[in-house]
Amino acid sequence: MIEIPSDLHKDLVPLAFLLGNWAGAGVHDFPGSEKCNFGQEVSFTHDGRDFLEYHSHTWVLDNDGNKVRPLESESGYWRIDASRKVEVTMTRDDGTVEIWYGEMADKKPQIDLVTDAVARTAAAQPYSGGKRLYGYVKSDLMWVGEKQTPEVELRPYMSAHLKKVVTPEDVERWAKALPDDMPDDGIAFFK
């Protein structure tokens, strides 16, 4: 279910499907790096201004699905204009700063992004750009990332399938929104 908060900036309504906390798992595979399964937690929040705040943390998972160590963290800000053009500023824990541009698909919650600018500190790994695709599919958030370095052509390197994290506050808010004339037993509701 996509909720549009009453205090969400009007320009951000097309991005409302991203709002909330998400958790799930995915696969990381890039030449020169360890191939692994990873866990991920993502949050998209807003404070009434014309951007979404974004945070992502990933960690390597062992064969039993247990956390082994951190993999990547990134944070940034997402904006969208009236023509559905999306811009993202992002900072990664390895010393990389990126500016992404893209657009939201017509009539569906899907965003395609491409790096426009990349800046790296001396400590950052070689990286020259990337692409990302985010989509809201059957109430889940799915994404795939591609990247390139001076030595490796653009190729997929990470993808994940994330589920919305439901809090007790969410359940309470949804319960309060139910109509007063709901049947008092679950069986009558389905008749």
Q: 106-122, pLDDT tens digit by residue?
A: 989 999 999 999 999 99
> d(Cα 73, Cα 54) in Å, to the nearest integer?
11
Beta carbons within 10 angstroms of residue 56's beta carbon = 20
Burial 66-81 (b: 16+ CB within 10 A, else e): eeeeebbebebebbbe
> d(Cα 191, Cα 189) in Å, to the nearest integer?
6
- In this prediction the pTM is 0.86
The per-residue pLDDT for range 3-46, each reduced to its tens digit, is: 888 899 999 999 999 999 999 999 999 998 889 999 999 999 99
